[in-house]
Each structure stands twice: as structure tokens, then as C-alpha cells.
Structure 1
Amino acid sequence: MNNIKKVKLGSQGLVVPAIGLGIYIVGAVEIHDHVGYGKYAELAGKAMQEFTDAGFELEALSVDGHPKIYEGTQPADHLMLFKFKSREDYEAFVASETYQKALPLRLASSTTRFMMAMDSM
């Protein structure tokens, strides 16, 4: 327990354990061609299966077209949250042959508002 990294949160100085559980990929896309996006989702799902079959860690934590917004404005009609072991794993996934075949389908059928990586604590 002594070698667990700790991080300071906010102006109050709250210190919490940071156990380095990977990274989260948060995305927001506006879908304008649901048929085309469905083809993307099918191929992207195949890429995820291949990635995990190869021993990589990937979790689809949430994919939601109708999230409940409590504050602010929804950035797009389709939000997603994935967890990877590391940025390098995410970059390897995106560079994979199958995902590279899927990516043009997403780009043609939707507008990406953002796709960002956030470190876990």
C-alpha cells in the first residue's frame, strides 16, 4: 500500500489514492446516417473482439444515444465511454487493421464532436 500514488483533487486539497487503472476514452458523435453508422458499429465491434482475443484489455463501459443531462448541454446525440489499460493500447486498437477499415464508415456517417483520453486515478 505504501507505493500507491496519491493525487490532489480540487482547491480543498483532498488527497485520494490513485491506483493507475488505465485510461478512459470519452467520445461524442452526431450521427447523420444511421445505416452507415450501424455498419461502422458492427465492424468496430469485430475489432474490439479481435483486440480482446489478442490479450488486450478493453471495456465498453457505456454507449448511449439518450443520456440524461443534469447540467450543461449535451455535446452530441451519441456518447460513449471505453476503458483501456493504457494510451498505447488505445493507440494500438485505433491502428489495428480491422478498426482502420471501420473508421471511414464512422467518419462518413457521423460528425465527431470529440474523442478524448482521460487518465484514471
Structure 2
Amino acid sequence: MSIYVFGAIEIHDHDGYGKYAELAGRAMQEFTNAGFKIEPLSVDGNPKIYEGAQPADHLVLTKFESREDYEAFVASETYQKALPLRLASSNTRFMMAMDSI
């Protein structure tokens, strides 16, 4: 079953986060080249909130074919190299996976 990974991130170092995004993009490309399906659906640095409180200034939404695919992606060598860049340049409010319907 497909899942959607939704993240809310507060970026405090845009240059550092840009380096993360570049390396994470490379990890996504490697994963795609290996036959996995990753579909970035939205990346928004200026989301419009209609109800409630804004969780962060940067929201991301990505579709993976399965929870196992997502877990393999985040465990991949290239993504593991990218992750410290994200952690150093931002505060992750949440990174959650939702099942598709």
C-alpha cells in the first residue's frame, strides 16, 4: 500500500538546508534508478494556513509505494549522508507517514 510522508520543518540555515536538499535529491534519484517509485508531491516554503496553527515554515509531501520502501530510502547510504545536514540546518517539527486510501 502506498504511503504519504508529510514533514514540517523550520529552517534556520538556508544554505545548509540547500546542501541537504541537493544530496537528498541525489538519494531520491539513486533510489528511482534502482526501480523504486518516489513521487515528490509538494515542497512549500510559504504554505497558506486556513485553520489552526502553522506547524513550520517549510512543508514537504512525498509518496512512496510502501512503508518498507520509505524505510529503505531513509536507511540508504546517500540519504544517511544527507540527514545530518538537515538536522544541523533545521528543526523538524514532525516527519510522519500516512497510509493511502
TM-score (norm. length: structure 1): 0.82
Which of 39, 46, 56 aligns to 1:59? It is 39
Tell me the matched-pair count.
Answer: 101
1:117 equivalent to 2:60? Answer no
- Structure 1 residues not aligned, in runs of 5+: 1-19
**Offset of 1:68 from its aligned partner?**
1.1
Amino acid at match of 1:82: T
The letter of the residue matching 1:40 is Y
Structure 2, unaligned stretches of length 5 or more?
none
Max Rg structure: 1
| 1:12-68 deviation line (CA, Å, top 9, x unaligned) | xxxxxxxx4x00000000000000000000000000000000000100000001111
Matched, 1:33 2:13: yes
Higher fraction of helix: 2
Q: Distance in 2 between matches of 1:36 and 1:50?
A: 21
Q: Which residue of 1 aligns with 2:55?
A: 75
For the aligned residues, what is the CA RMSD? 0.6
Aligned to 1:84: 64
TM-score, scaled relative to structure 2: 0.98
Greater mean alpha carbon deviation, residues 64-73 or residues 109-118? 64-73
